[in-house]
Amino acid sequence: MQQSILTADQYKDLTKKIIHTVDTRYRIIPLNSLKHLKYHLRTPIHVTLEYEEDKVVASFDDIEAFSYADTASEALDLLCGEIVQVFEDLVEDKENLGTLPQKWLEYLEEIIECK
């Protein structure tokens, strides 16, 4: 079996193509607000936007929350609602949480405050 060896120029070109693909498909952005009347973020959180063929997926990996929509703005609005819903669900059931949901709640309680 013969292996292909890239020249330095081919390697640079391939690296640029990979970086361009990642740069245009994924963006990590700060989220400063949950866009909710009752809750406020104490500090910005970082969320990921992934651009697929006809949809944008917004995700907050720290609590495994995500949403998708036709535009980044819509996906972010839905993600804010998802984060609030997860937070409220965890608070409501805080006495019966497993290890991972308990960690999510502790983290969310650090970054979210009631107005």
Q: What pLDDT, in 10s, does the model give residues 47-58?
A: 999 998 899 999
Q: What pLDDT, in 10s, does the model give residues 4-58?
A: 676 888 878 777 777 666 666 889 999 999 999 999 999 999 999 999 889 999 9
Locate all alpha helices (DSSP H) within 40-98, ordered by sequence. Answer: 72-92
The sign of the torsion formed by the CA atoms of 75, 77, 79, 85 equals: negative
Q: Which pLDDT value is given to residue 103? A: 97
CA end-to-end span of the chain: 66
Q: Which pLDDT value is given to residue 21? A: 64
The domain ranges of the chain are 8-114
Q: What angle do CA 47, 50, 55 make, to 5 degrees?
A: 120
Would the pLDDT of 1 be above 60?
Answer: no
CB neighbours (10 Å) of residue 62? 15
Q: Which pLDDT value is given to residue 53? A: 85
